[in-house]
């Protein structure tokens, strides 16, 4: 098979894979294990004068840090290992604006040997309406050895 044909087939296969994941779905857990509140700052706004997508991921990160702290952990130390983000997905529902107080609820699920999902529900405290939902896949990571490690049992048991 020629190199050109191989590249075309590879491109077509890639296109099919991208079409399969074209629309994400995040199923919310029955129970959230943590709730925090964060105000939308002026620096979180984009040219549309509403919460920017990049800023929302930053607020999700802040929610994750607070969630871990609430459990007695940090991103560098979850029972002796760190975490590293494998992927992130955000589904936007409504706009948020400067001064809005957002409620961020967090829970963990879908555990595998070395990773789990953190699920976030972001809503407007005043209206109660859903602004967005997000998922981040975190892998547990040994930064000294530069490799993933099993999910700590003490962490996993909190959510089962």
**Residue 160 contacts by C-beta under 8 Å, 6 or more apart in sequence?**
111
Residue 91: CB atoms within 10 A of its CB come to 13
* Digit-coded pLDDT (tens) for 69-104: 999 999 999 999 999 999 999 999 999 999 999 999
Mean pLDDT score, 110-115: 98
Q: Which of 107, 127, 125, 103 is nearest to 116 (CA)?
A: 107
pLDDT band with cut points at 50, 70 and 90 for residue 111: very high
Reported pTM: 0.86
pLDDT for the residue numbered 9: 43
Cβ-contact 132, 124 below 8 angstroms: no
pLDDT for the residue numbered 14: 56
Token pair belonging to 69: 């702290």
CATH superfamily of the domain spanning 26-158:
Hotdog Thioesterase (3.10.129.10)
Is the confidence at residue 17, as pLDDT, over 70?
Answer: no
């Amino acid at each position: 098979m020629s190199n050109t044909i191989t590249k075309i087939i590879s491109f077509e296969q890639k296109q099919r894979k991208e079409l399969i994941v074209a629309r994400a779905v995040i199923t919310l857990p029955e129970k959230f294990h943590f709730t925090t509140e964060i105000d939308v700052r002026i620096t979180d706004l984009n040219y549309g004068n509403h919460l920017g997508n990049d800023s929302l991921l930053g607020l999700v990160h802040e929610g994750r840090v607070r969630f871990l702290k609430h459990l007695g952990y940090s991103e560098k130390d979850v029972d002796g290992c760190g975490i590293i983000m494998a992927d992130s997905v955000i589904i936007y529902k409504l706009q948020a604006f400067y001064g809005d107080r957002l409620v961020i609820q967090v829970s963990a699920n879908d555990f595998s040997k070395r990773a789990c999902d953190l699920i976030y529900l972001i809503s407007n405290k005043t209206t109660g309406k859903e602004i967005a939902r997000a998922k981040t896949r975190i892998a547990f990571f040994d930064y000294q050895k530069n490799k993933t490690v099993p999910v700590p049992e003490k962490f996993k048991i909190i959510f089962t």
